Amino acid sequence: MIVLLGAFDGFHRGHRLLLEKGRELAEKSGDPRNWCVVTFSPHPGNILHGTEIPVLFTEDERDLLALSMKIPRTIKIPFTRSLAEYSPEQFLDFLQRLLPVSGIVVGGDFRFGSGRTGDTAFLRRYSAEKGWAFAEVEPFTIDGVKVGSRNIRNAVAHGDTETARNLLGYPFFFSGEVIVGDRRGQKLGFPTANVLYPAGKVIPRRGVYAASVFAEEQWYAGALNIGYNPTFLKDTPLRTETYILDFQGDLYGKWIVVFLEEYLREEKKFPSAAELIETMNDDIDRTRRIVAERTLGISVLYDDLKKAMFSKRIE
């Protein structure tokens, strides 16, 4: 089996080069599905550095992306302190006990084993000794920016939806079950779908976004607010509230996915509900134009993600 090794936090455009190489080597072996992704949970940095690194996507969201990218199999190895202390040879012995390894694919900057002493040069020698196929994929850059999870997290945290999209190859998104809020939006004429933002996931810049929403097996445009609702509330946890344009129905308890298309403005406290409503109407008009211009087709992954979302619902 061809094994792709890495953290794979998001399956960004750099990762997809590894997926292509894995498919290629599997096809050469005679079985185009004889490849898999081997990744780790939690993120190795959490154990190695003793600090929690915000993830781009939750485990369920990574599974959704893997499904959309037609990865035959994903194996998540629990990353522990004892595993971190394995030598490169010990880790590869461990890997061979899990899988019938016939090849390895890694990024050029991949490091593993105690003290990060395992590198691509080591893997190339080891693979040659074992008679395995081996491929090293060089880091991918766009306009001089390395395609990597750190740069994507930074873009998301600053509300830079364009950079996040360019590096990921699709818009940053979050998903979850719609929960009951305080129904204030409904009283204002803008009922919102409130989702409890996943713990440990990188938090986008506070403010209002034009969004694409997948709900009830359909795509909708949505005006999303990420923040604390300062006009009405004090000392509240972070809220993600989406007014879904042209939607009729009840979403409580339903699973939705919200894609951040474009940052519109900062969150602010309004002196009156009337001024808030006026600004919200402007947000909605801008959202409708932005999403219509993109026609939900700016990324080839939209269709594959949609199919994966349908599959998730069926399961």
The Cα angle at residue 45 between residues 43 and 50, in degrees rounded to 5? 115
The residue type found at 120 is T
pLDDT at 297 (0 to 100): 46
Greater model confidence, 279 or 21: 21
Q: Averaged over 215-239, what is the pLDDT? A: 78
Question: Averaged over 207-219, what is the pLDDT?
Answer: 91
Position 300 pLDDT exceeds 70: no
- pLDDT surpassing 90 at residue 225: yes
More confident residue, 37 or 218: 37
pLDDT at 218: 85
Between CA 142 and CA 234 the distance in angstroms is 41
Helix (H/G/I), strand (E/B), else coil: 104 = strand
Paired sense of beta strands 145-146 and 141-142, if any = antiparallel
Residue 173: the pLDDT is: 94
- Are domains 2-139 and 172-314 of this chain identical in fold? no
Q: What is the CATH number of domain 172-314?
A: 2.40.30.30
pLDDT grade, residue 42 (50/70/90)?
confident
The two structure tokens encoding residue 167: 């590096």
Predicted confidence (pLDDT) at residue 311 exceeds the cutoff of 70: no
Report the CATH fold assignment for 2-139: Rossmann fold (3.40.50)
SS3 111: coil
Q: Is the pLDDT of residue 298 over 60?
A: no
Please state the domain extents for the chain: 2-139, 172-314
Distance (Å, rounded) from C-alpha 53 to C-alpha 16? Answer: 22
Residue 306 scores a pLDDT above 70: no
What average pLDDT does range 95-123 have in this prediction?
94
Q: What is the pLDDT of residue 269?
A: 77
Highest mean pLDDT among 41-45, 61-65, 225-229: 61-65
Helices (H) and strands (E) in the chain, counts: 11, 13
CA–CA distance, 301 with 68 (Å, rounded to integer): 7
User: Sorting pLDDT into bands at 50, 70 and 90, what band is 191?
Assistant: confident
